[in-house]
Amino acid sequence: MTGRFIAVVGPSGVGKDSVMRALAMKDARMVLARRVITRPGNAGGEDFDGVSTAEFEARKENGDFVLDWHAHGLQYG
Protein backbone atom coordinates (compact mmCIF):
# COMPACT_ATOMS: atom_id res chain seq x y z
CA MET A 1 0.00 0.00 0.00
CA THR A 2 1.31 3.44 -0.84
CA GLY A 3 0.11 6.74 0.46
CA ARG A 4 0.65 9.26 3.19
CA PHE A 5 0.81 8.59 6.92
CA ILE A 6 -0.82 11.29 9.03
CA ALA A 7 -0.31 11.31 12.79
CA VAL A 8 -3.05 13.02 14.79
CA VAL A 9 -1.77 14.06 18.22
CA GLY A 10 -3.28 15.87 21.17
CA PRO A 11 -4.12 15.55 24.85
CA SER A 12 -6.16 12.61 26.14
CA GLY A 13 -9.88 13.08 25.70
CA VAL A 14 -9.66 15.90 23.16
CA GLY A 15 -11.49 13.89 20.45
CA LYS A 16 -8.72 12.63 18.17
CA ASP A 17 -10.44 9.26 17.59
CA SER A 18 -13.77 10.94 16.83
CA VAL A 19 -12.18 13.23 14.25
CA MET A 20 -10.25 10.38 12.63
CA ARG A 21 -13.35 8.15 12.41
CA ALA A 22 -15.41 10.97 10.89
CA LEU A 23 -12.75 11.66 8.26
CA ALA A 24 -12.43 7.96 7.40
CA MET A 25 -16.20 7.68 6.99
CA LYS A 26 -16.17 10.60 4.51
CA ASP A 27 -13.27 9.33 2.40
CA ALA A 28 -12.86 5.62 1.61
CA ARG A 29 -9.20 6.21 0.72
CA MET A 30 -8.43 6.85 4.39
CA VAL A 31 -7.44 3.83 6.47
CA LEU A 32 -7.06 4.02 10.24
CA ALA A 33 -4.01 2.34 11.75
CA ARG A 34 -4.61 0.12 14.75
CA ARG A 35 -2.60 1.10 17.82
CA VAL A 36 -0.56 -1.28 19.94
CA ILE A 37 -0.25 -0.30 23.62
CA THR A 38 1.49 -1.94 26.58
CA ARG A 39 -1.64 -2.39 28.66
CA PRO A 40 -4.31 -5.10 28.95
CA GLY A 41 -6.44 -5.44 25.83
CA ASN A 42 -9.62 -5.29 27.91
CA ALA A 43 -8.71 -1.93 29.50
CA GLY A 44 -11.41 -0.16 27.50
CA GLY A 45 -11.41 3.32 26.06
CA GLU A 46 -9.70 3.61 22.70
CA ASP A 47 -9.47 0.89 20.04
CA PHE A 48 -6.09 -0.87 20.43
CA ASP A 49 -4.22 -4.17 20.72
CA GLY A 50 -2.87 -4.69 24.23
CA VAL A 51 0.55 -6.35 24.51
CA SER A 52 3.22 -6.97 27.13
CA THR A 53 6.31 -4.79 27.26
CA ALA A 54 8.39 -7.72 25.96
CA GLU A 55 6.08 -8.24 22.97
CA PHE A 56 6.06 -4.52 22.23
CA GLU A 57 9.87 -4.38 22.26
CA ALA A 58 10.08 -7.45 19.99
CA ARG A 59 7.62 -5.93 17.53
CA LYS A 60 9.49 -2.62 17.63
CA GLU A 61 12.78 -4.42 16.95
CA ASN A 62 11.07 -6.21 14.04
CA GLY A 63 10.09 -2.85 12.50
CA ASP A 64 6.34 -3.38 12.97
CA PHE A 65 5.63 0.25 13.87
CA VAL A 66 5.72 3.34 11.66
CA LEU A 67 6.28 5.31 14.84
CA ASP A 68 6.31 4.65 18.57
CA TRP A 69 6.33 6.76 21.71
CA HIS A 70 6.09 6.65 25.50
CA ALA A 71 3.33 8.43 27.42
CA HIS A 72 1.67 7.98 30.80
CA GLY A 73 4.03 5.10 31.66
CA LEU A 74 2.96 3.11 28.58
CA GLN A 75 4.45 2.39 25.17
CA TYR A 76 2.45 3.14 22.03
CA GLY A 77 3.08 1.98 18.46
Residue 45's pLDDT is what?
Answer: 65
Residue 17 corresponds to which amino acid? Answer: D
Residue 39's pLDDT is what?
Answer: 86
Contact between residue 29 and residue 66 where contact means Cβ atoms under 8 Å apart = no
Residue 39 corresponds to which amino acid? Answer: R
pTM of the full predicted structure?
Answer: 0.73
Residue 55's pLDDT is what?
Answer: 97
Q: What is the mean pLDDT of the chain?
A: 88
Residue 23's pLDDT is what?
Answer: 93
Task: List all residues 6 or more positions away from 50 whose beta carbon is below 8 Å from its beta carbon.
Answer: 37, 38, 39, 40, 41, 42, 43
Residues of the chain with pLDDT under 50: none
